[in-house]
Structure formats: structure tokens, C-alpha cells
Amino acid sequence: MPVVEADVSSEIDLGPVDQLIDKYRQQRWGLLPLLQDVQGLYGYIPPRAIPRIASGLGLFPSQVQGVISFYALFYTSPRGKNVVRVCRGTACHVRGGKTILKLVKNELGIEEGETTADFEYTLETVACIGICALAPNMVINNTTYGQMNPRKVARLLNRKDR
Ligand code: FES
């Protein structure tokens, strides 16, 4: 299945970003809430919006980019409706987490950090979900699934459209 390009923001209307910037114009402290507002509007922060945000707040684009990179909660590419996170922590790794990740990649047809072309799924890995005793584990949106095996992966992610 084709994968979403990293930056599809060239087709996006950035007009609403200017309205959001107006709330914080030339107020550097407003960067975090503004980024949250922009992400709330688009589901991610379009890279083309970064220079506008920077000039609106009196910052350099590199400063805005730096903040976006620092906080894991900000994204600069569109994400899927469902976010699948496979644990790559030690406990999960020794109990087959690598195989689970491979199966999930095959099932979704994407690599780590990518989103399916229909925006249904984004695949990520995490350092530890915190339920190591049930390894290997994965999370889909807010639901955790422990003791994963190939059958469970197929059941949870079986996509009939492919
Ligand atoms: S290592 Fe996977 S949940 Fe802790």
C-alpha cells in the first residue's frame, strides 16, 4: 500500500493559521499554545506554517522547529485515525517484540513512523508501555494489548481493503 508523503501541506489552506497567530502576535510565550492550536486545527503542524508562526511571534523558524522537535506531542506530518504503537523495550524484545513489529508492518504495509495512504493507521514504536510482565505488548489508540502473537496481530489489524 502506498505511503503518505512526508509533507503534503502544499495543498493546505494556511489562512486559518493567521487567525490563530493573531491571538499571540509578537508574544513569544504564546508559541506552545499556538502550536497546540495549529495542531488541533490540522491534526499536525504543516511544515509550511512554521515560517508564518515564527514571524508572527517574532521568532526564527529554527526556534519554532526546535520546539516542535523537542516535544513528542507535536507532529509535522498527518497521522492516521488509529495510532498503533509497538513496544520495543527489552522485556518485549526478548519475548518476540521484533517479530510483532514485523507482522504489524506487513499487515499495514508501512514502516515505523509512517501513515497508510488512507490515513487509517500510523505506526510508531515506544520504549516501554509499562506492562512488561505481559510482553510482548502493543497499543492501538488508548487500548493496550498484551501477550501479542501473530494471530492477535492479524485479528486486530486485518484490513479487508487490501
Ligand atoms: S518493555 Fe514492553 S512494556 Fe515494558
Tell me how far apart the alpha carbons of residues 118 and 82 are, in angstroms, rounded to a whole number: 11
pLDDT at 2: 41
Q: What is the DSSP letter of 3?
A: B
pLDDT at 159: 64
Domain 82-157: state its class: alpha beta
Tell me how far apart the alpha carbons of residues 42 and 11 are, in angstroms, rounded to a whole number: 12
Residues in contact with ligand 1 (CB, 6 Å cut-off): 87, 89-92, 128-132, 135, 137
Q: Which of 94, 95, 132 to mutate to test the pocket of ligand 1 (most atoms within 8 A of CB)?
A: 132
Task: Enter the pTM of the model.
Answer: 0.73
Distance 24 CA to ligand 1 centre (A): 40
Q: Could you tell me which residues come within 8 angstroms of residue 19 by beta carbon, excluding any fewer than 6 positions away? A: none
Domain 9-70: state its class: mainly alpha
pLDDT at 1: 43
pLDDT at 72: 83
Tell me how far apart the alpha carbons of residues 57 and 22 are, in angstroms, rounded to a whole number: 9
pLDDT at 158: 81
pLDDT at 162: 44
Q: Where are the domains of the chain?
A: 9-70, 82-157
Output the tens digit of pLDDT for each of the chain's 162 residues.
Answer: 444 444 555 678 999 999 999 999 999 999 999 999 999 999 899 999 999 999 999 999 999 999 999 998 899 988 999 999 999 999 999 999 999 999 999 999 999 989 999 999 999 999 999 999 999 999 999 899 999 999 999 999 986 554
Distance 131 CA to ligand 1 centre (A): 6
pLDDT at 149: 96
* Residue with CA nearest ligand 1 atom 1: 89
Q: Which of 129, 134, 138, 147 to mutate to test the pocket of ligand 1 (most atoms within 8 A of CB)?
A: 129
